[in-house]
Amino acid sequence: MASIHKNEKNIKKSQSKPSISTEEKGNYPVKDGIVIHDADQRKKIHSMLMDLGNIMSTSDWTKLDEYLEPKAVLNRINEEIIGRISIQEFLSKKNKGILKYFFNRFYYDSEKMLVCSEWITRRKKEKDQYYHEKMVVWFMKLSKENTIKTWYIWRDPFYSRFIEYYEPISEKCWMRNRKPPKKHTASEMCDFVRKKFSYLENADIGGWSGTLHKDVEIRPPWRVHVGKDDCVLGLKKFLNDFEDIGASILEILYDYTQPNVAIYIQLFGATKRDNKERCEDIDLSMIMLEDEQIKYWRCYFYEKDIPENHFSFIIFIKDS
């Protein structure tokens, strides 16, 4: 389990075990009317994540051996490292200063053995007075033995604040798990994402607009509700500057305990109209549906070398 400092009582107890049920159906727990048939496996996944968070916080890289496949692949903000030893060496060079990981939540696709988890990180370099708080997402593909085959890491490029270490974690940084108003199947969620991509590729503003809830909330870069109108205006501005848009799913995670949520890695590309330069990026999105539309949409992508197409899309919506 990730370590908790004795003075961290006022920090949200993010290392606690996830609550899955308040009732039982047969031998399985039940959450929001959904039978959790793989509760024991989910506890193992949670325990693994807590150990990994502790490893990242303490820089005890030797403990990674039991979780990484020998030929595991780490993709950290679009930099790829192959092999267990190389990953340990890479992370040991990157994790400088005092670093603490605080667990937020995770999703698990039991069919595909995919795991996505969100974290709050607080880092303080030697000469810094305050801790730098960021948000991080991990997306993993596991083996049948729960060892990591592929591990993606992204940071939220816009969420950032400098704080005292023991300041409570904000409740405004992420969507909370809510009781799903409708239970969608894995194929329905995948079809919805593909439909959204199709509207975008065909510059169908009306169709794309129809996938958004009137009160849609998109993050980053906002800390507050945005709304559908600004998103549509942002897309119109984006289409004025870019053409030949392409979007495809590389991986999609469906957690049957959260059947209105889809988490997917996408390849997103577009061509600048003025000079025909092609821009592409691999990023991660999380969407939550309500009334058959996207009520919550969260993006993670590489903040230090953001392809102009994606960066423009974000800025156009922000400035609308």
Mean pLDDT split into 10-residue runs, the chain, 320 residues: 39 44 58 81 96 92 91 88 93 81 92 95 83 91 96 84 78 58 90 96 96 86 68 89 93 94 93 90 91 90 54 54
Which of 102, 131, 163 is the endpoint of a domain? 163
Angstrom distance (rounded) from CA 308 to CA 55: 35
**In degrees, to the nearest 5, what angle opens at C-alpha 258 toward C-alphas 256 and 262?**
90
Angstrom distance (rounded) from CA 70 to CA 16: 30
Verify that 312 and 258 share a domain, yes or no: yes
Position 305 scores a pLDDT of 47
Verify that 193 and 147 share a domain, yes or no: no
Verify that 123 and 220 share a domain, yes or no: no
- Residue 174 falls inside a structural domain: no
Q: Looking at the DSSP assignment, which residues form a beta bridge with residue 286?
A: 263, 298
* Three-class secondary structure of residue 161 per DSSP: strand
Task: Residue 152: give the domain boundaries.
Answer: 23-163
Position 111 scores a pLDDT of 94
DSSP-derived letter for residue 168 is: P
Q: Looking at the DSSP assignment, which residues form a beta bridge with residue 207?
A: none
- Residue 2 falls inside a structural domain: no
DSSP-derived letter for residue 63 is: G
**Count of domains forming the chain:** 2
- Residue 176 falls inside a structural domain: no
Verify that 145 and 240 share a domain, yes or no: no
Q: What are phi and psi of 161, to 5 degrees?
A: -155, 150
Which of 131, 163, 195 is the endpoint of a domain? 163
- Residue 177 falls inside a structural domain: no
- Residue 214 falls inside a structural domain: yes
What would the two tokens of residue 70 be?
């020998």
Angstrom distance (rounded) from CA 107 to CA 45: 10
- CATH code, 35: 3.10.450.50
Verify that 104 and 54 share a domain, yes or no: yes
What would the two tokens of residue 231 be?
């998103």
| Strand 293-300, strand 278-290: pairing | antiparallel
- Residue 308 falls inside a structural domain: yes
Q: What are phi and psi of 213, to 5 degrees?
A: -70, 150
Beta strands of the chain (E only): which ranges?
23-25, 28-31, 34-35, 68-76, 79-82, 98-109, 114-124, 131-142, 148-155, 161-163, 212-219, 242-253, 261-272, 278-290, 293-300
Verify that 244 and 156 share a domain, yes or no: no
CA dihedral 278, 280, 286, 289 (to 10 degrees): 30
Position 300 scores a pLDDT of 86
Task: Please give the model's pTM, rounded to 2 decimal places.
Answer: 0.84
- Residue 171 falls inside a structural domain: no
The DSSP element (H or E) to which 169 belongs, if any, is: none
Position 116 scores a pLDDT of 97
Verify that 104 and 224 share a domain, yes or no: no
Position 239 scores a pLDDT of 93
- Residue 178 falls inside a structural domain: no
What would the two tokens of residue 287 be?
């969407």
Verify that 155 and 281 share a domain, yes or no: no
What would the two tokens of residue 33 be?
């009317």
| Strand 23-25, strand 131-142: pairing | unpaired
Residue 158 burial (C-beta neighbours within 10 Å; 0-12, 13-18, 19+): middle
CB of 294 within 8 A of CB of 311? no
Q: Looking at the DSSP assignment, which residues form a beta bridge with residue 101?
A: 121
